[in-house]
Structure 1
Amino acid sequence: MTHTATPRRSGGDVRLRGISKTYGSFTAVHPLDLTVPAGSFFALLGASGCGKTTTLRMIAGLEEPTTGSVALDGRDVTALPPYKRPVNTVFQNYALFPHLDIYENVAFGLRRRGIKSVKKQVEEMLDLVQLGPLARRRPQQLSGGQQQRVAVARALINHPQVLLLDEPLGALDLKLRRQMQLELKRIQTEVGITFVHVTHDQEEAMTMADTVAVMNGGRVEQLGAPADLYENPATTFVANFLGSSNLIEAEVVEAGGDEVLVTAGGARLRLPAGRCTAAVRTGGRVLAGVRPEKMALAHADDAGAVAEGHNRVPGTITDAGFIGVSTQYVVRTRGAGSLAVYEQNIARDGRLVPGAEVVVHWSPAHTFGLDASQDIGAGADRDEEAA
């Protein structure tokens, strides 16, 4: 399976050709073709054991591929040891030297290569990661986010063509993680180096990356820009792993033209043909998908006010959870199973409480169609551990 992302700027690209990794009878990474454009911020996203870290380690030279080749900036490096590859890796635990101050941690790579005059380069790197005033502190005197930035500076000072980041924000708390997502993106934009970032956190991948490869079971399930993966998932795994999706089991009644008409229980739903996978357009069973935040609720008494042409399914609220920015409802429906609906807390309707009869409705344009032969729950139980 060949995947290519759109190039953005000059620099070191990464080309994996037929690369795979097996350990005895276990296949960690199935044969994979992948091109990471020079100068892009690329994320390998997936749950534990999906093969993303193994793929990163093969790029770094820390794992030897069972088959295939690794090329960096047009040069085959498959047989080269890590230290001869134009890459540097930032790990989750940062691996800073505790006995050296920040300045000397960043200067380490230059000094090891015998470079005597390091002051200008080190100061530039510390400015880039906004740690200049802390140059003489030891790692243990810094916060987790600051240590992480030191690790990035220490890697970048060697001018690698590719920077590999293995779960770099995994040890940080949520607020700091979000700050660092923006920080890393800023640094990548400024230096223009190719970043390949491994994470199990979908928000992290979608916030930072130009292109995301969603991995599952040692294969790339889908590759694309974050918004495209979210809006047009090709499989149930991607639909469930990137955010949440309501997947409604339905039967195709009519396919042809710009719309696909399906039935779920007694409800007739319309789907745009352009958002349906090929299998759906040929008829039979289908999974009609819609994101919870694209849906709205109307109390049964107001059903007549629902916009003309909207898909609509009647049901009963079984659960309502207020989470500040939105209220998350669970609605038991006749024919479409239980649906999650997220409504922004703008004008809250006090009647929308558990037990209330409602109509779930949404624009047909917000519906996508997937092949029903897949596992409907694939990707829903996201593993919070890094692979």
Structure 2
Amino acid sequence: MTTDRGGDVRLSGISKTYGTFTAVHPLDLTVPEGSFFALLGASGCGKTTTLRMIAGLEEPTTGSVLLGERDVTGLPPYKRPVNTVFQSYALFPHLDVFENVAFGLRRRGVKSVRGQVGDMLDLVELGDFARRKPHQLSGGQQQRVAVARALINHPQVLLLDEPLGALDLKLRRQMQLELKRIQTEVGITFVHVTHDQEEAMTMADQVAVMNGGRVEQLGAPTDLYETPRTTFVANFLGTSNLVPARFDGRSGDDLLLRAGDAPLTLPTARNGAAATTGPVLLGIRPEKVSLVPATDAASVPDGRNRLTGTVRATSFIGVSTQYVIDSPVCAGFEVYVQNVERDTRLVPGADVVLHWNPAHSFGLDAAQDIDAGSASVEEDAAA
């Protein structure tokens, strides 16, 4: 496949409707050239439909798809400089690994394929498996064959539709690193669809979090995690404690809040809520919070945000212990404490003080659904 190398993937006003159902609302999105880009969201959010419109497998209801300066909206899939890797891999069972990878070259009439196929198998670290059939490979090895078969066509963009979904957890994590290594080596644009937050955060340079056919937030994984702009992103990417509070004034570069009787501080720069008066949700990630028995309250340094509560439950998960705290201002407050020196006093029923650096807090508009994007809500929606 010939490509005019270079250029971003640009979606302009693109949408997709099926009868009265809108799968993707009008969307403007730019995928930078040479980046690893993830479309992340729960089932039915529109991410796969968006990918299929880039591939040419779905016709947009409105809008256009541009690769570089080239408008490919009206082109069939085989005329677009893209290749797609699906969760099923779709390898030819009767062909060995070598011939699976060589298939695209042979179909285009390329006579000398040995060198190109050898180089591609080396890239995916399968050089010693060239004469094996797909059924003789592990799931991870089959996935790498599918990637090699797509990349040998030198696409401008590689599209990956839940490519790791069929793998077990340990292999999936290994393949996340492998895919990122391959993308870095070949330097082409990868657009990856996934519902797995860890997968997106591990591999992608930029992530578009999708919800209900719209992009909820777009940015680098660290930005999305540290400064979510909506409750959906705060809850969908990991876990967030969202404390209902009210604005109570200013002090220099900080906003002063009050949750019940507890004074809290929020840096103005980390306030994602439009308002600076009235109700607000103060967010804090569980691993940012420290936990001490109430009898040690005097040991908490000045300048920390603090809340009181009672331990409801604990869960030992190896690298950390997870605590669920019932506070007067926030039931079910979660805290993750690394298992370095475990405090045996932190047991269910113990009174505790939660405290954290105000700089790790973020503010969100209290008019939003506080549970949007949480696992329980997503499971209910899928049921």
TM exceeds 0.5?
A: yes
Separation in structure 2 between the aligned mates of residue 12 and residue 177 of structure 1, nearest angstrom? 30
Aligned counterpart in structure 2 of residue 15 of structure 1, from 5, 10, 17 = 10
Partner AA of 2:55 in structure 1: A
Report the 3-state secondary structure (helix = DSSP H, G, I; strand = E; otherwise coil) of the residue aligned with 1:279.
Answer: coil
Question: What's 2:48 paired with?
Answer: 53
Report the 3-state secondary structure (helix = DSSP H, G, I; strand = E; otherwise coil) of the residue aligned with 1:262.
Answer: strand
Describe how 1:134-145 pairs up with structure 2 within 5 A: 134-145=129-140
Aligned counterpart in structure 2 of residue 291 of structure 1, from 285, 290, 297 = 285
The answer (yes or no) to whether the contact 2:89–2:146 under 8 Å persists in 1 is yes
Report the 3-state secondary structure (helix = DSSP H, G, I; strand = E; otherwise coil) of the residue aligned with 2:330.
Answer: coil
Separation in structure 2 between the aligned mates of residue 73 and residue 61 of structure 1, nearest angstrom? 16
Superimposed CA distance per residue, residues 107-155 of structure 1 (whole angstroms, 9 cap, x where no aligned partner): 0000000111100100000000000000000000000000000000000
- 1:381 Cα deviation from its structure 2 partner: 2.0
* 1:321 is the counterpart of 2:318: no
Report the 3-state secondary structure (helix = DSSP H, G, I; strand = E; otherwise coil) of the residue aligned with 1:47.
Answer: coil
Superimposed CA distance per residue, residues 146-187 of structure 1 (whole angstroms, 9 cap, x where no aligned partner): 000000000000000000000000000000000000000000
Separation in structure 1 between the aligned mates of residue 241 and residue 158 of structure 2, nearest angstrom? 37
- 1:256 Cα deviation from its structure 2 partner: 6.4
Partner AA of 1:308 in structure 2: D
Q: Percent identity?
A: 75
Partner AA of 2:66 in structure 1: A
Question: What's 2:169 paired with?
Answer: 174
The answer (yes or no) to whether the contact 2:273–2:280 under 8 Å persists in 1 is no
Aligned counterpart in structure 2 of residue 362 of structure 1, from 353, 356, 364 = 356
Report the 3-state secondary structure (helix = DSSP H, G, I; strand = E; otherwise coil) of the residue aligned with 1:151.
Answer: helix
- 1:338 Cα deviation from its structure 2 partner: 2.5
Aligned counterpart in structure 2 of residue 380 of structure 1, from 358, 361, 374 = 374
* 1:233 is the counterpart of 2:223: no
Question: What's 2:265 paired with?
Answer: 270
Separation in structure 1 between the aligned mates of residue 357 and residue 220 of structure 2, nearest angstrom? 23
The answer (yes or no) to whether the contact 1:101–1:139 under 8 Å persists in 2 is yes
Question: What's 2:123 paired with?
Answer: 128
- 1:277 Cα deviation from its structure 2 partner: 1.7
Separation in structure 2 between the aligned mates of residue 353 and residue 364 of structure 1, nearest angstrom? 26
Report the 3-state secondary structure (helix = DSSP H, G, I; strand = E; otherwise coil) of the residue aligned with 1:304.
Answer: helix
The answer (yes or no) to whether the contact 2:273–2:363 under 8 Å persists in 1 is no
* 1:66 is the counterpart of 2:48: no
Superimposed CA distance per residue, residues 286-328 of structure 1 (whole angstroms, 9 cap, x where no aligned partner): 0000000000111011000011111111111010101110000
* 1:342 is the counterpart of 2:341: no
Separation in structure 1 between the aligned mates of residue 68 and residue 156 of structure 2, nearest angstrom? 8
The answer (yes or no) to whether the contact 1:164–1:195 under 8 Å persists in 2 is yes
Separation in structure 2 between the aligned mates of residue 78 and residue 238 of structure 1, nearest angstrom? 30
Question: What's 2:304 paired with?
Answer: 310
- 1:329 Cα deviation from its structure 2 partner: 0.3
The answer (yes or no) to whether the contact 1:12–1:162 under 8 Å persists in 2 is no
Describe how 1:32-43 pairs up with structure 2 within 5 A: 32-43=27-38
The answer (yes or no) to whether the contact 1:52–1:218 under 8 Å persists in 2 is yes
Separation in structure 2 between the aligned mates of residue 228 and residue 203 of structure 1, nearest angstrom? 14
Report the 3-state secondary structure (helix = DSSP H, G, I; strand = E; otherwise coil) of the residue aligned with 2:375.
Answer: coil
The answer (yes or no) to whether the contact 2:17–2:61 under 8 Å persists in 1 is yes
Separation in structure 2 between the aligned mates of residue 12 and residue 148 of structure 1, nearest angstrom? 27
Q: What's the C-alpha RMSD, in Å, of the aligned pairs?
A: 1.4
- 1:73 Cα deviation from its structure 2 partner: 2.1
Separation in structure 2 between the aligned mates of residue 328 and residue 176 of structure 1, nearest angstrom? 25
Question: What's 2:325 paired with?
Answer: 331
TM-score by length of 2: 0.96
Partner AA of 1:145 in structure 2: G
Superimposed CA distance per residue, residues 182-201 of structure 1 (whole angstroms, 9 cap, x where no aligned partner): 00000000000100000000
* 1:77 is the counterpart of 2:72: yes
* 1:190 is the counterpart of 2:185: yes
Report the 3-state secondary structure (helix = DSSP H, G, I; strand = E; otherwise coil) of the residue aligned with 2:49.
Answer: helix
Describe how 1:93-132 pairs up with structure 2 within 5 A: 93-132=88-127
- 1:279 Cα deviation from its structure 2 partner: 1.7
Report the 3-state secondary structure (helix = DSSP H, G, I; strand = E; otherwise coil) of the residue aligned with 2:234.
Answer: helix
- 1:74 Cα deviation from its structure 2 partner: 1.5
Partner AA of 1:158 in structure 2: N
Superimposed CA distance per residue, residues 182-230 of structure 1 (whole angstroms, 9 cap, x where no aligned partner): 0000000000010000000000000000000000000000000000100
Partner AA of 2:9 in structure 1: V
Superimposed CA distance per residue, residues 234-280 of structure 1 (whole angstroms, 9 cap, x where no aligned partner): 00000000000000001111146411111111111101110002424
The answer (yes or no) to whether the contact 1:129–1:150 under 8 Å persists in 2 is yes
Partner AA of 2:295 in structure 1: D
Partner AA of 1:369 in structure 2: G
- 1:12 Cα deviation from its structure 2 partner: 4.0
Partner AA of 1:300 in structure 2: A
Say how many residue pairs are matched.
Answer: 376
The answer (yes or no) to whether the contact 1:236–1:376 under 8 Å persists in 2 is yes
The answer (yes or no) to whether the contact 2:82–2:159 under 8 Å persists in 1 is yes
Report the 3-state secondary structure (helix = DSSP H, G, I; strand = E; otherwise coil) of the residue aligned with 2:274.
Answer: helix
Q: Unaligned regions of 5+ residues in structure 1, if any?
A: 1-9
Partner AA of 1:242 in structure 2: L
